[in-house]
Structure formats: structure tokens, C-alpha cells
Amino acid sequence: MATLEDIGVSAFINILTAFTFLLAFAILRIQPINDRVYFPKWYINGERASPRRSRNFVGKFVNLNVMTYFTFLNWMPQAMRRSEAEIISHAGVDSAVFLRIYTLGLKIFVPMTVLALLILIPVNVSSGTLFFLKKELVVSDIDKLSISNVRPESIRFFFHIGLQYLFTIWTCYMLYKEYDYVASMRMHFLASQPRRAEQFTVLVRSVPHVPGHSVSDTVDHFFQTNHPNHYLCHQAVYNANKYAKLVRRRDRLQNWLDYNQLKFERHPEKRPTRKIGFLGLCGERVDSIEYYKQQIKHLDKILISERQKIVKDSKYILPVAFVSFNSRWGAAVCAQTQQSKNPTLWLTNWAPEPRDVFWRNLAIPFVSLSIRKLIISLSVFALVFFYMIPIAFVQSLANLEGLERVAPFLRSVIELKFIKSFLQGFLPGLALKIFLYILPTVLMIMSKIEGHIAFSTLERKAASKYYYFMLVNVFLGSIVTGTAFEQLHSFLHQSATDIPRTIGVSIPMKATFFITYIMVDGWAGIASEILRLKPLVIFHLKNMFLVKTERDRENAMNPGSVDFPETLPSLQLYFLLGLVYAVVTPILLPFILVFFALAYLVYRHQIINVYHQQYESVAAFWPHVHSRIIASLLISQLLLMGLLSTKKAANSTPLLVVLPILTLSFHKYCKNRFEPAFRKYPLEEAMAKDILERTTEPGLNLKAYLADAYLHPIYRSFEEEEVLVQVRVDKHQTQTVSPSTSEISSPSPPRYVHHPSSPPRYVYHPPSPPHYVDHSSSSQYVYDHFSQPQYVDHPSSPPQYVYDPSSPPHDVYH
Amino acid sequence: MATLEDIGVSAFINILTAFTFLLAFAILRIQPINDRVYFPKWYINGERASPRRSRNFVGKFVNLNVMTYFTFLNWMPQAMRRSEAEIISHAGVDSAVFLRIYTLGLKIFVPMTVLALLILIPVNVSSGTLFFLKKELVVSDIDKLSISNVRPESIRFFFHIGLQYLFTIWTCYMLYKEYDYVASMRMHFLASQPRRAEQFTVLVRSVPHVPGHSVSDTVDHFFQTNHPNHYLCHQAVYNANKYAKLVRRRDRLQNWLDYNQLKFERHPEKRPTRKIGFLGLCGERVDSIEYYKQQIKHLDKILISERQKIVKDSKYILPVAFVSFNSRWGAAVCAQTQQSKNPTLWLTNWAPEPRDVFWRNLAIPFVSLSIRKLIISLSVFALVFFYMIPIAFVQSLANLEGLERVAPFLRSVIELKFIKSFLQGFLPGLALKIFLYILPTVLMIMSKIEGHIAFSTLERKAASKYYYFMLVNVFLGSIVTGTAFEQLHSFLHQSATDIPRTIGVSIPMKATFFITYIMVDGWAGIASEILRLKPLVIFHLKNMFLVKTERDRENAMNPGSVDFPETLPSLQLYFLLGLVYAVVTPILLPFILVFFALAYLVYRHQIINVYHQQYESVAAFWPHVHSRIIASLLISQLLLMGLLSTKKAANSTPLLVVLPILTLSFHKYCKNRFEPAFRKYPLEEAMAKDILERTTEPGLNLKAYLADAYLHPIYRSFEEEEVLVQVRVDKHQTQTVSPSTSEISSPSPPRYVHHPSSPPRYVYHPPSPPHYVDHSSSSQYVYDHFSQPQYVDHPSSPPQYVYDPSSPPHDVYH
């Protein structure tokens, strides 16, 4: 049991770590060489030119302006300065709403912390039971501040029960307000959005096979019959998964070719060679450049034949289509209604926006979807409860003897005593570490196997799987000793009322553990997030070995995006911890507050400067956030009930039983009231937008607008390939196919982003030219645009912090 | 513990009882005086004239044809002779599908019984463990045939497990086929249905209040904006609940007036009098006829003023409307989509058919619905688990002393020793009996409070409540001793794996109880259903005291309908018993088979001859039936698992765990595959019917057709009242307001049935004139039309057993 001093030491270490990270970030970010790592969003939005055009050579890479080092924490006020509307226009609704989760946390927990500390700490401390019990139990100082210190059967428990009521009501009230706000934000955003392809388009799956008719004919005929006044056109979907795989392989080969060519340019005395065997480790040695050129040529031939097959062979057309309507109303009707007598045919759903489509899963036949779902849910269950079994198995293999057998040349090193003892302590943990590191990827792959067809859905599903894992293995696993499987076993053999009691009893004892957890995972973890160590290293590696053109450099820069599958579940874990410990050990709350505040600042900064969302789901994840916080409330109520029943405050049970019922009915009410806003598109809204558009743009050719919105990415790559071949002939060194790390993701979406016909991004183009860069003081190194007091002078230009990409790039380093 | 002989005696008694009922029925039904009790359906369909026009006076009341007494069981083959299509046309899809539940029971259990008896009985008997254990346990003969007789850890359990697999697969297969059939039956019926108002109409609730506009204006404006090409018209809904109450009171007074007038006519020497005080027990004595006439006159005045208020005062218009569209497509679209940004406004749903609307609940404001739902679900929970508490309380009051205090004049009777001991044994049980008797009514009232707006929904909800009650109090309550509350308590304090074990162990021991239960409740109960003792008595009482005109007699005849809230749950209980005991004590299965067969015959007869469904939900209850049978399967699997785990057949658990998972996924698949057919109306279907109608009836005036389809019944009663007043002036004795027993039901639906503008009933009108009555043998008493061998001669007229109402009424008794 940790004492207060232990906590203090831990806090000191973690604060120091976090501070180190922040300091490193502050120094690294003002180096021009790292500019693309820490401000990629600006480059993508076209709001910042290259920082390299500085006068002297050193200034290109290192920031020589000493003044900027003294204001190294100024990113914090900068991050705060933007309004929510500006964040929406800059980074999208998803990001803005994501930030609102943190402010929601603050709004819920600040008053809670104040009340709990003011009321419960005196109540708990003055009880002083634990002083008498000291001999039996090992009691920490933290426990003296917790509910454990209150004598059984004490009347003081009514303080705790009363506060639990108050906290529940307060949380529900804040949740209601927030849901209301987010729903209206979503509605407002959808209403004010310009014309977009997905507003007119419905994804139709399970198109039945009519003998003698192509899929296109069937779709045309069905919708011309059943939506005669609204149907416009449709786009067939091709099964291009094999082709995409080939393209990815070609990209990898192109990367190697680029790398070798660059190597040869820099050291022209020696042509690079490689072995042609397995992984380049064995076989004949050949000239690398020639080898890769040949490989690419060979692959190009296969690609062309595959491409022709796709276009010509009707087998490659999937029984899926993007059906477009001539009005939003028509699309809304089709998306929300049942089309066919057989409810497994002609399934209609809103089409995800083109960037969001996960093309690979469109090829999954509908019949296999339910089987896939069953298998994946069983696997998730197994993963959550039995994940220790394979790890223990791997651990038993991964010992020193095994290592020596595999790699005999390491024997001399391993036999050194120091290294041996280090490895013996380190190896068994390694399997677990690796597992936890790859877990989000595994969960994402599972979601992909489940067959969801949009990235946003995939991320939400992966997030929910990760949440279950965290809940069982981090929360319950830390409270109840033993593996999750052992817990499952003991829970199955306990009565329904015993389970909350067993967990409830051990909750106060685990407070110190969770405080440390919050500091390590929350404080230091968030601080490391802002440092972006991995993208920093990868960017510089790529820069060194692959980048030849400006475009390559742009592709090497990996902005990333809010990692919903990981951040949402861990956020929800903090809500759970806060709500559970609010009444039990209120001293934990300030630690959570610090986490929420710090994370809010960091993510705000990242969203403004770094992240580039791949899609816009318009806060589609909010219902999940809401319902998981409700679930946390329910868990906290049940555990308090269990805890109090062991305190022989039996008469409190009826009082507390009311709470879950009320919470559940509140949840149901919210579901009815707000969730349709996230699932359906009201006809009133659709009609209003249709009418507005008809009056403002009477001569609009919608068909032309929609013609290639949902064109399969294969066509785009065909076009690009054509360009590529042409370009090759003229100029050997220009490469249009971008080098990229091998990803599991689909072939298409990254291509969309740069394509000129992709729908308009949410970037403001203010009418007045921006004045942010002080051209008079041109000799000065003006880096932090936002720290200029100049903005105050131009209050009339509404979105103040955004560059106009149409104006020529500013040369800030001249 | 009952021996085989005990079961035999019980079976004998119950068979005798059932036989007595059947015999009584056979004799009573062929008496002309009871014709309206046992064949009301024929009168309602207009297919039978009055049986009273016989030649001699006695023949009017008593069947003098001796021959017919010898063929008294011929109703059974008669009931079987109709095809399903004929039953649908005669009584509707609901009734036909209701009968299919019984055939489903037979289809599932006949092969199961054969297999189980052939395989399991030898396996169980030859094990013979129980002979050795006889000293410890009291073992019945039945137990020797059950799984209890198998030695623990025996390999023979694999027979049971294998059969459980087989039975599960077989049940699922039959369920799938049946669901498929019923769904296609529903689809086919809906497709072949003639034009009906509900196909074009959507019920809109939560119309928002726009200041300065009436509800009608708001509705008109909203739908003209958002469904411009499809909106046709709408009908406002008036809050006529108070008026309906007054009408019901007037009906009661009219009944009393009729009764007294009839009394006076029969005994003209003495004018009937009554006291005007409480319940006619005290106060001044007045002339009854004058008193009631005056009362009615007074009430008529109030009715007129209330009527005018409703028509003129806009406060009486509810924020609810029946919105009609110019095509089925438009209505289907509106019913399935979300209309408004605020999902609690403009809620659209398919309108129930006019006969099915429960008008009273339309006045419930939408906001209170969720609160009502919460309160009712809590009450149902309380009712299921704590219903013994108030009954025990009443029992403690309802003793002899209490009775003597309330009714001192009974003292001399009560003090007789024989009667006293009888009452002392009888009274405590009385409260429970009364409670169980009124339970369905209570559950129906609860469902009404919940706020459902269609009779069909009300009945389904009441049925599901009754099912929970039966499951907990009859099934679990019989297996585990103690009240439901005690069970709840013990279950809460048992582990999740212990619960199936506790129940599983006692299951084989309760087999004899359930066999007796099936015989008493199933066999004898069903036989008493066909006798219709209560309607018989009530009909003759009404006939004696109230009936003056032919129309009165028609109203006195109460055909009733399939009592879904009671029959569905008890049916589902038999499925549960059958599935649970199939593997455990297979000797129970034949008893269930007899029940299904007998009940099938009885209900077939009743549906053809007696019941008159008040509405047609087109088998909307099937998903409930399906899912409850699935639930029974799950329960049987869990209990077998629990039972086997006590038999130390531990290695069987993993084998059995697979079953519930498979069953659940089967259920999910069925839900996806078939349930939309019961909830939504596919656009393909709607469009096809629209197109067909447009081509066949191009000049159709749909607006006129729909104009008063959903007219509030108040308007109809206004019209009737007008007619009534007119009629009154001409002829004093003709009464149009029908006398009826005081019901809790709404004022309207019975009125619909006789209204000429109500939608067409499902009655065939065969083109060829029917030849069923042998006019040549006119002197013969031709009663059982179906027993005439004549039909065989006319195979060309398709629906053979149906009268043509358009032909003049046949005088069968001449």
C-alpha cells in the first residue's frame, strides 16, 4: 500500500517526465527542419509554404532566432485562441466534438471535485475507523481519506448516498445539455453544408442477380420503377481488391527503386546491388536499380491486364451500387425505407462520403456478413477474457535457450552476465508489451473482417472493442486480482448480488494504483503524444532515403488523425474512474482533472496544427460516448451499492436501487430524443435544402455533378497511370506514384485527398487578403504567426487565423 | 410423488370431464334456441337467417329431430373440412395463423415424441439407478422413465445430448419454415387485399403547436411542404373521451328502460318501480319507466351540448392526425421516414385499420408516454414477483368474522357447522381465485395505460405481460418451491451457474405435476372453451330481459374473438413444457400432443362458427410467438446444462454451450430475414399496387374514398343520433342505440362493424348461387349444412361452405 509520500514521489517523477516531453516538443517544433512534422495541417490546407527558403544554409535546418526559445510554452495560449466555429471550419466537426468530450469531462468533474473534497474528506477523515483496524489490514494514508475510514453502520453514509444522487443528477444534466448541443451542431452543420455527393446518394447492397441482365440494368430498372420521380443515376462498384494489392506491391518496389537511385546519385562510384532470394538475404547478387526497374515493368504488364479484366469482365461488377437521386428528399426516402419484399435484398443505407468508403469490404457477399459478425463477437469475447493464454504460451517459448537456438551467433553476447540477467527479466514481459502494442491494430483488423463499409464505422467498432478490453482487463482486472479468465470463472460462480460486493469492497484499496495509472498513462502519455516521436523519426528517415521531389516530401509528411479507436476508450476509462471514485476516494478526482485539462490543451494544439482527418462523420461517435458515460454511471452506482452493503448500511440499498432505474430511463429518453439525429436524415431538412437549391441554382446539372463522385478509385488510378506513363516518356525522374509505407488500409482514400474533383474541404477562403505576416520586419524570423499582436487590428475579417491559399506563398524566411 | 396409477386416475377424471363438456356442447349446439350462441359468426356474416321460423312452437326452441343427436361428434370432421384459404376469407389471417401455431406444435412434437419415446425410454429404464436409491429419495414410477434414472457420469447422457441437438435443429427448422410461410402469407394477403384506407394513411402524433394556427393548418402546411407530390388530405382527431363516457352511461340507462318496459308489457297489471338512492337500494320509490326516460332526456341534453363543444372548441382537437396520401408509395414513405429535425415531433406510423384504433389513447400527450411506460414496466415487475403480498393481505381480512360484520343477516347461515367449515376452507383461496380470474383484465388495463393506440397492439402487449407472469409463477413457481418473491431473492443470491442447476435438478421431479396440469388446464380447459357456458347464460338472460327487436337480439349475441392475451401465453407455456421435458421426461410429450390436437380442433370449430375478430392485424403477433418459442428452446438448453452438471457429466458442458449460441444466432438471422415483413411495408409492393390500381381504375376519386375512413367515431354517433331522433318521432319502440354490457373498451369499434361505409370484410361472394340447402327435402330439419353429402356434386363453385348474403335468407326451418 502506497503512502501519501509514495504518491508524491510518483507524481514528481511523472510531472518531470511530462515536463521533459513538453520541453523537447517546445524546442523541436521551432526548428524549420521539423516544420512538416509539427505543422503538417498547414501544408495540407495549403496555408503554409515550405520553410526551407531561408537565406543561409544553417537557417534552413536549425532555428537561429534565440528569442523564440524563451517563449517555448506559447503554444498553449495559441491553442486556446481559436473559437469552436473556427475549429470546425479548420478541422471538421469530428475534431471539434472530440475536444468537447474533454470540456465535458471538466464540466462534470470540476464541481464534483470541489463538492467531494469539501464534504467527503472531512466526513471520512473524522470517522477514523482505520486507526483501530490497523493491525488487521495494511492501510495506506489514502485510505484514511476514503470511505473505508467510515465506521460500518454509520449514519455518515448518507453523505455519500446524497452525493451520489447529486453527482448522478449533475452528470445526467451535463450529458443532456451536451447531447443536445452536439445534436444541434450536427444538424446545423449538415444544414449549412454545401452540396455534397453523399446527400444525394444511397448505397444499395444485395442487388439480386437477374439472369440475362447485368447488375446495372437490374439497378436501373428497379429504381426507375420504384422511385420514378427521384431516381437519377447509379454507379457500379468493381471488385478491385486484387488490383489494389498489385498497386501496393508496385508502390513498394517503386520505393526501393527510388531509394537505390538516390543512393547511387549520392555515391556514383558504387552501383547498389542486392540478392534476389528470400528477403534479399540469399541468392544471386544483381544490380538493384536494374532489378527493381525490371520488376516494376513486369508488374505494370500484370496491372494493365488486370485493369482490362476489371473493365470488361462482368464478374468483377459487385452486386452493390451507389444510387443517386435528383433530390436530397428522394435519397432520404430511399435510405430510410425498405425496398423489397425480401428484406435481405435491395438493402439501402446512406452512402458514406467518398473519402470514408472502405472499398474492400463492399465485395463481401451479404450472406456471409452475419456469420462474420458472430465469429468476430466470439473472438472478441475470447480475446477479452482469454488473451493471457497465448501470451503465456509465447512467453514459455521466448526464453534464453530458445533465443540461443534460433540465433547461435548471439550466444557470446547473451552469455555475458549483465545482459543475461537483463534479458531474463525483460523477455517474458516482451510478449505482453508487443501484444498490447499491436492490440488496436488487431481490433481494427477484426472490425474490417466484420465487414463494415466505412472508415468511420470501422473506427467506432474498433473503439468499442477496445473499450470492452479496457473495462475488463484494466478496470476490473486491476481491482480484482487474477486474469480476466479467472474473474469470469469466479463471477459465473458468484451470485448476482455478490459480484458488485466483491468488486465494491476492493475499490477503495485500489485508489493509489489508479492514481499512479492516471499519472503514467494520462499525464506522461498525453505529453508524449504532442512530441510525435514516431512520425518525427519516420519523416526524417524518409527525407533522407526516399525524398527527391517536393511532392515526395509532401507524401512523406504523415499528419495522422485523431486516433479514435484508442483515444475514445481510454477517455471513457477516465470518466469511469472519476465517477466510481467520486464518492469512494474523492482525492483521485484532482488527478483526473489535470488529465482532462492537459489532454484538452494538447489535442487542441494537435488538431489545429497536426492532424488531418481522413473523413468527416459529423460527430457520429457521440451516441457511443454518451452511452458509455451512462454505463460508467451505472457501474459506479452498482459498485457503491455493493460497497455499502458490506458496510452493513443495508437500509441504503432501497435508496440506491432507485438510481440505476432513473439513470436507465434517462438514457432511454436521450436515445429517443437525440439519437435519430445521428442515424437518420429528416425529410423536413432535406426538403428545405432542396427548395433552397432549386431557387438559387435553377439550371444546375446534378447528373454531371454526381457522375464520378462515387467512381471506384480504380478509375482514378487508371487516369493517374495514363498520366504517369506520359510523364515517364518526357522526363525520367518525375514520379507520380507516391512512395508510402505498406499499409493494411484500402488502396483508395489517400488518393482522394489530393484529387481535384474530391468534394470541397472545410477550409475558409476569407475574402480579404490576410495580413498575418509582417512584411515590414522582413529580416526578422517570423515563425509564430499567432503571437503577433497584429490580429487585433483586423477584427472585420471573420476567420482570422487561416491563410488564403489563393494568394502567392509567403516567403517567411527571407 | 404420484405413481403411474395416480396419473392414470387423474387422466381418467380429466378425460371424463372433457368428454362431459363435449357431450353437453354437442347437445346444446343443435338446439335452435342456442343457435346464436354457437353459430354467431354465420349471423354476423349474414350467412344464416334466424333459426326461429320453424313450423311448430316447440321446434323453435328444442331440436326435435332425433337423428341429429346420434351424430353429435360430427363437428370435428366439419371443422377439418375447410382449407386454409377458406378460413382466411371467412375469419381473417389472424385466425388462420393462430391455428397454425397448433399445427406447428404438432409438427414439432410428433416426431420428437416418437424419437424420444423410442430412444430415451429404453435408455432411461435400463439404467435403473433409482432402484438402488429408493431408500433415500421418494421415487415415483414416472421418474424411472426419466433422466433421473441414469447413473451419474454415465456415457448414456450422450443420447440425451444428441437428442437435444437433434430436437433443437428440428425445432429451428420448423420455426424457420413456419416463419417463412407466415411472412409470405402476410405479404400475399396484403398484396391481394382490395383498396383499404389504412394503405394510404399514416398516423401522425406530436403535431407541434404553432401559435396562431390550428392543428389542421399546421398539418396541412407541413405535409404540403414536405410531401408535395403525395399528400392528399388529413383528418383531425377530437378528444371525445368524455362524450364517449356519457354515451356509455346513456346506453346503460337505455338498457334499464328497455328492461322495465319489457317487464311492464309482460305484466301490465304492475308498473315497475325503483328507489332513486344509491344503487337503487335506498331513497324515494319512483316509477322506473318514467325515471329512466327522464334521466335519458337529461343526458341527451348534456350530450348535445358536449357534442357542440367538441365540434366548435379548438381545444378538443388533439395534436394528432390521420394523414392520407394519394398513393400507397407516398404513405409507405411517410410512415418509414423521420419527418422533423426534432425526433419527438411529427412522429409518423402506419395507421391501424379503422376498426383497430383505440381512440381513447390518442389523447395521451406524447411526453407522458415514456413515463407511463416506465411506471407500467415497474408495475408489471412488481405484479409478477410480489403479487402474493396484497392477496395475503386480503386473505387476512376476508375471514368469517369479517364477513359476519359486513353482512350480519348471514350470521345464522354461516354458523351452521357444515357451511362454516366449507367457507373456512374456501374463503382464503377465494382472493387468489378472484385475482387469477381478473388478472388478464388487469394486464389489459395496464397495457391501455401504457398508451398503445391499436387494439391489436394492446392485446399483444397484454399477452407478453401474461407470458412473464406464467413463466415466473406457473413454470418456475411450480419447479422451485416458494413464492416468486422468494425465488427472486434466492436467485439474486445464487451464482449465474447455480440457477440453472437448482432449477434443472428439480425438473424431473415435477414432471407428474405438469402432466396433471396439462390434463386439467389443457384438456378439460379446452373442452370447456367450446361449451361457451358464460356467453350461453348471458345470451339467454339478455334474451329474457332486454331483447325486443331482431336488432337487439343481434346485439345480445356476443361472438367473442380469439382471446390472444390469454391463449397465446398459455400456448407458449405448452411449448416450453414440451421442449424442456422432451429430453428429461419424454413421457410428458404425448399429453402435450393430445392438448395440441384437441385445441386445434376446438379452435378451428370456434373460428369457423363462433368468433368474430374485431380487427385484422395480418398475423402481426407471429414474431412474438416465434421469439417465445426460441426463448423456450434456450431455457430448455440451459436447464439441461444445469441438470447434467449435477449428474457429474461435466464434459458435456462445452458440448451444450454451443447450442444456445447457435440458437441465438438463428434467432437473429430470422429477425433480420423475416421481421421487416411484419413491421414495414416495402416500397416495391406499394408501387406495384399503385401502378395496378392506376391502370385498372384511372378515374378513381381517392379523396372521396378516404374522406371519412378515419372519421372520429363521434361523427358517426352524431349521424346515428340524428337518425335516432328522427326514428323516435315516427315510432316509439324502435331503438337504434344498442344495449350493451358496460365495458371498459372504447366507445367506437363495435359501431364500425355495422356501418355500411366500413371497409369490406373478408367475405367471399361466390358468383354461382349456393346450393347447400336442399329445398326439395324442405320438411326435413336441415341444420348441419356441412354434413350434407350434396357438396360433392358441385365441385365447380370454389368456396363451397360459404353462404351468399346477397341471396334472400333461406328459410331452413320451414
Q: Which three cell numbers stand for residue B216?
A: 389542421
DSSP A708-754: TTT--HHHHHHHHHHHHHHHHHH-SS---SPP----SS-SSHHHHHH
Rounded mean pLDDT of A730-740?
Answer: 37
Query: Region B694-698: what's the mean pLDDT?
Result: 83
Using pLDDT thresholds of 50, 70 and 90, give the confidence band for residue A105.
Answer: very high
Is B232 strand, coil or helix? strand
Cα distance between the two ends of chain A: 60
pLDDT tens digits, residue range A566-588? 889 989 999 999 999 998 888 89
Residue B456 has pLDDT above 80, yes or no: yes
Confidence of residue A180 (pLDDT cuts 50, 70, 90): very high
Identity of the amino acid at A59 = G
| Contact state of B493 with A492 under an 8 Å Cβ cutoff | no
Contact between chains at B674 and A343 (C-beta distance less than 8 A): yes
Best interface-test mutation with A: which of B231, B666, B683 has the largest number of A CBs within 10 A? Answer: B683
Flag if B225 and A687 touch (Cβ within 8 Å).
Answer: yes
**Cα separations in angstroms, A723 against A173, A717, B159:** 57, 10, 70
Residue type, A343: P
Say yes or no for a CB contact (<8 Å) between A495 and B497. Answer: no
- If phi > 0 it is left, if psi is from -120 to 50 it is alpha, else beta; for residue B98 that is alpha
Residue A514 CB-density burial (10 A; 0-12 exposed, 13-18 middle, 19+ buried):
buried
More confident position, B550 or A760: B550
Q: What is the pLDDT of residues A287-345, one digit of tens each?
A: 878 888 888 888 888 888 888 887 777 788 888 889 999 888 999 999 888 888 888 88
Looking at CA atoms only, how far is residue B571 from chain A in angstroms? Answer: 29
Lowest mean pLDDT among A59-68, A92-101, A192-201, B213-222: A59-68
In a mutagenesis test of the A interface, which of B684, B685, B691 is the best target, namely the one with the most A β-carbons within 10 Å?
B684
A350, β-bridge pairs: A202
Contact A251, A739 (CB under 8 A): yes
Mean pLDDT within A15-24: 85
Do the Cβ atoms of B343 and A673 come within 8 Å? yes
Which has the higher per-residue pLDDT, A31 or A179? A179
Residue B715, phi then psi, degrees to nearest 5: -65, -40
What pLDDT was estimated at residue A429? 66
Mean pLDDT of B318-323: 88
Q: What is the strand order of the sheet A231-238 is part of?
A: A231-238, A317-325, A201-205, A347-350
pLDDT of the residue at B812 = 35
Strand arrangement, sheet containing B317-325? B231-238, B317-325, B201-205, B347-350
The stretch A23-49 carries a mean pLDDT of 76
Alpha helices in A399-510 (DSSP H): 400-406, 411-414, 417-450, 455-469, 477-479, 484-492, 498-506
> Mean pLDDT, to the nearest integer, of B471-494?
73
Highest-scoring range by mean pLDDT, B425-434, B497-506, B667-676, B725-734 = B667-676
**Which ranges in A227-344 belong to alpha helices (H)?**
241-266, 288-312, 328-336
Instruction: Specify the pTM.
Output: 0.77
User: Which chain B residues are closer than 8 Å to A497 by Cβ?
Assistant: 492-493
Taking Cα atoms as reference points, which of B794, B790, B797 lies closest to residue B775? B790
Q: Do B495 and A492 make contact, defined as CB atoms within 8 angstroms?
A: yes
Pairwise CA distance, residues B439 & B469, whole Å: 10
Of A343, A495, A668, the CB nearest to B370: A668
CA-based diameter of chain A, in Å? 89
Nearest CA in chain B to A374: B665
Residue A71 has pLDDT above 70, yes or no: no
* Among A374, A665, A687, beta carbon nearest to B374: A665
pLDDT of A136: 43
- Pick from B378, B669, B684: CB nearest A226: B684
Please indicate whether, in this complex, the C-beta atoms of A370 and B495 are within 8 angstroms of each other. no
- Mapping DSSP to helix (H, G, I), strand (E, B) and coil, where does residue A274 land? strand
- Residues of chain A found within 8 Å of residue B339, distances taken between Cβ atoms: 682-684
Judged by average pLDDT, the poorest of A293-297, A309-313, A379-383, B493-497 is B493-497
Length of chain A: 814
Look at residue A57 in the predicted model and tell me its pLDDT. 60
Share of chain B above pLDDT 90, in %: 15
pLDDT attached to residue B414: 67
Contact call for A333 and B333, based on CB within 8 A: yes
Contacts of B263 (CB under 8 A, 6+ apart): B272, B545
DSSP string, A778-793: TTS----GGG-GGGGG
The pLDDT, as a whole number, for residue B56 is 60
Strands B285-287 and A317-325 come out as unpaired
What is the rounded distance in angstroms from the CA atom of residue A652 to the CA atom of residue A646? 11
**Cβ separation A227–B683 shorter than 8 A:** yes
Q: For A370, which residue in chain B has the nearest alpha carbon? A: B669
Say whether A338 and B682 touch across the interface (CB within 8 A): yes
Residue A683 has pLDDT above 50, yes or no: yes
- At B627 the pLDDT is 93
| CB-CB neighbors (< 8 A) of B493 in chain A | 495-498
Output the pLDDT for position B147.
80
Band of residue B129 on the pLDDT scale cut at 50, 70, 90: low
Supply the pLDDT for residue A165.
93
The tens digit of pLDDT for each residue in A764-796 reads 333 333 333 333 333 333 333 333 333 333 333
Q: Which residues of B touch A498 (CB under 8 A)?
A: 493, 495
In the block, cell 448518507 appears at: A158
Q: What is the model's pLDDT at position B777?
A: 36
Contact A251, A354 (CB under 8 A): no
Q: Which residue in A684, A687, A689, A694 has the most chain B C-beta atoms within 10 A of its own C-beta, making it the best mutation to test that interface?
A: A684
Band of pLDDT at residue B345, cut at 50, 70 and 90: confident
pLDDT at B771 over 50: no
The DSSP secondary structure of A678-696, one letter per residue, reads HH---HHHHHHHHHHHHHH
Q: Report the chain B residue with the minimal C-alpha distance to residue A501.
A: B493
Tell me which residue in B222, B496, B687 faces A225 most closely, judged by beta carbons. Answer: B687
What does the pLDDT average to over A756-766?
A: 36
Query: Over 90: is that where the pLDDT of B176 sits?
Result: yes
Q: How far apart are the CA of A620 and the nearest CA of chain B, in angstroms?
A: 16
The average confidence (pLDDT) of chain B is 76
Task: For residues B363 and B747, give the distance between their C-alpha atoms in angstroms, rounded to a whole number.
Answer: 14
Instruction: Sort B807 into a burial class: Cβ within 10 Å, 0-12 / 13-18 / 19+.
Output: exposed
Q: Where are the domains of chain B?
A: 4-194+509-683, 200-352
Alpha helices in B366-416 (DSSP H): 366-386, 388-397, 400-406, 411-414
Interface test with A, best of B339, B342, B493 (most A CBs within 10 A): B342
The cell numbers describing A179, all together, are 447531447
Find the length of chain B: 814
| Separation in Å, CA of A334 to nearest CA in chain B | 8
Give pLDDT, residue A809: 38
What was the ipTM of the complex prediction? Answer: 0.75
Predicted pLDDT at B806: 41
Please judge whether B337 and A337 are an interchain contact, meaning their C-beta atoms are less than 8 angstroms apart.
yes
Contact partners, residue A293, CB within 8 Å, separation at least 6: A257
A682, B340: Cβ pair inside 8 Å?
yes
3-class SS of residue A96: helix
Predicted confidence band at A278 (pLDDT cuts at 50, 70, 90)?
low
Q: Closest residue of A to B661, CA-based?
A: A374
- A chain contacts of residue B187, beta-carbon cutoff 8 Å: 341
Do A681 and B493 lie within an 8 Å CB cutoff? Answer: no
State the average pLDDT over residues B373-390: 85
pLDDT at A120 over 50: yes
Q: What is the pLDDT of residue B799?
A: 36
Q: Which pLDDT does position B654 carry in this prediction?
A: 76
Partner-chain contact B680 A226, CB within 8 Å:
no
The alpha-carbon gap from A595 to the nearest alpha carbon of chain B, in Å, equals 35
Helix (H, G, I), strand (E, B) or coil at B771: coil
What is the DSSP annotation of B529-543? HHHTHHHHHHHHHHH
Distance to chain B for A700, nearest Cα, Å: 21
Phi-psi region of B309 (alpha: psi -120 to 50; beta: other; left: phi over 0): alpha
Paired strand residues for B204: B321, B348
